[in-house]
Structure 1
Amino acid sequence: MSNDAWKLAAAERALQYVEPGMKLGLGTGSTAAKFVEVLGPKVKEGLELICVATSQATQAHAEQLGIPMTTLDEVPFLDLTVDGADQLDGELRLIKGGGGALLREKIVATASGRMIVIADETKKVETLGAHPLPLEVVQFGLTATRNMVIALAADAGCEGEITLRKGADGKPFVTDSGNYILDCAFGAIAEPEDLDEALKLIPGVVENGLFLGIADLAIVAGADGITLVGSDDGDI
């Protein structure tokens, strides 16, 4: 099976945790899009629920499939969010933000009673960091913010190239919230919690792509089938 097929398998397994009447958060990215694709037919068959999207792209995708949508302003607490990850480790610590929606993804996930991560086996790692860590930053004072990231990340034991993400047009990528993204190639992040705390001290950093203590279960699909990381006792 290909990575694409594994993503689909993980998405289909996540449907087992969706119950009628749920208020559901929908993630962003290629794997999360698979979940939207398999959720659409269930809604068409009569599954009643209401969903909140983590990006404009996911909103448009869900609406095309006839999935009922709302906002966190209308429904400020969700039962469950299903989203992908750029990396996850055995402690369900994540790096997210490759798709540029990390701020909204974290807001939606933390407004949810539970978060399920769906991923293919290439995303499961021993140590986070091989995938660059995205930081959503305000446009004002970008150079000053970048310099503070360099200094405080070094204090947390992380160093590496920090680049401003560009779009297909060569211009700076702008998030749905109007911010820029810095991609930090730190390599192995030995102490994610220390780095997370350091980055929170920087005013220009709106949010970072470390999702720590947020996910409850990961559904990882690969050559050997489905592997669950975390609790699967019905009370996740």
Structure 2
Amino acid sequence: MATIDQTQQDAEKLAAALAAVKFVKDGDIVGLGTGSTTTFAIKELGKRVKDGLKITAAASSIRTEELAKSLGIGILDLGTLSQIDISIDGADEFTETLDLIKGGGGALFREKIIASLSKNAIIITDASKKVKKLGAFTVPIEVIPLAYQYVSDQINKLGGKGILRSVGGKSYTTDNGNLIIDADFGLINDPAKLSSDLNQINGLLAHGLFVNTTSKVIMSEGTDIIVFE
């Protein structure tokens, strides 16, 4: 994984965001992800809306919804939508085959719903997020609280080691009122199989492996924009 300073990383995030926002057209329903990279895209969309772009959006988190509203972007109830024209989101890791780990920001369930509804699901990243194999970043897993121990045991059976996410000494709670287990599976040789195995666990609401959900990844590296699709 590439090592770059924060200023360069932010410049790359902004460049990728600007490239992605160009795909948004008048009348689109836009899915908005959560995280530092997506924030750049939302702010740019806000500028375009101020200049006359007509869009509505579905947000993957409360903080994304609040940011979008503050910039004049109309928000739709995600639960009422059957289709999203285009979505823009970030990733914690991605491979050239468009497998991702997402959920570092804790919004993976809603992000996965948005990706599933999207006709054009765009991921934007800086160069540090590209890897040969997923797994250096832990796999976030949103779990219903009453199933926490059961899900933890099942993660162990799959060869993972899960740690309950906490903030300030208290268990982290998602916008959906659930817990997050950050599961370390080491480097993942077969993301599709692990995704399928995790999907079989009762009480596991969503996991951060995104397989076959992405249309393209727009990555900024230095002054270059590289598109994987």
What TM-score does the superposition give when structure 2 sets the normalisation length? 0.95
Alignment of 1:110-189 (within 5 A): 110-151=116-157, 153-154=158-159, 159=160, 161-167=161-167, 169-189=168-188
Partner deviation per Cα, 1:27-49 (whole Å, 9 max, x = no partner)? 00111111101110000000001
Give the 4+ runs in structure 1 shifted more than 6 A.
none
Q: Which residue of 2 aligns with 1:82?
A: 88
Mean CA deviation greater in 34-43 or 67-76 = 67-76
Rounded to whole Å, the distance in 2 between the matches of 1:44 and 1:75 is 25
Q: Which residue of 2 aligns with 1:19?
A: 25
How many pairs does the alignment contain? Answer: 223
- The partner residue of 1:52 within 44, 55, 58 is 58
Rounded to whole Å, the distance in 2 between the matches of 1:184 and 1:145 is 11
Partner deviation per Cα, 1:165-205 (whole Å, 9 max, x = no partner)? 002x2110000111100001222000111111111111021
Partner deviation per Cα, 1:59-79 (whole Å, 9 max, x = no partner)? 001011111111123433110
Whether the 8 Å CA contact 2:155–2:183 is kept in 1: the answer is no
Rounded to whole Å, the distance in 2 between the matches of 1:48 and 1:75 is 18
Deviation at 1:224, TM superposition (A): 4.6
Q: Which amino acid aligns with 2:72?
A: G
- The partner residue of 1:67 within 68, 73, 79 is 73
Partner deviation per Cα, 1:45-99 (whole Å, 9 max, x = no partner)? 0000110000001000101111111112343311011100000001001100000
Q: Which residue of 2 aligns with 1:223?
A: 222
Mean CA deviation greater in 51-60 or 185-194 = 185-194
Rounded to whole Å, the distance in 2 between the matches of 1:16 and 1:176 is 30
Whether the 8 Å CA contact 2:90–2:124 is kept in 1: the answer is yes
Rounded to whole Å, the distance in 2 between the matches of 1:59 and 1:142 is 28
Identity %: 39
Q: Which residue of 1 aligns with 2:4?
A: none
What TM-score does the superposition give when structure 1 sets the normalisation length? 0.92
Partner deviation per Cα, 1:110-133 (whole Å, 9 max, x = no partner)? 011110000000001110000011
Partner deviation per Cα, 1:4-38 (whole Å, 9 max, x = no partner)? 11100000001111111101100001111111011
SS at match of 1:144: helix
Cα root mean square deviation, aligned: 1.1
The answer to whether structure 1 residue 9 and structure 2 residue 15 are counterparts is yes
Rounded to whole Å, the distance in 2 between the matches of 1:35 and 1:76 is 23
Gaps of 5+ in 1: 231-236
Whether the 8 Å CA contact 2:145–2:178 is kept in 1: the answer is yes
Q: Which residue of 2 aligns with 1:234?
A: none
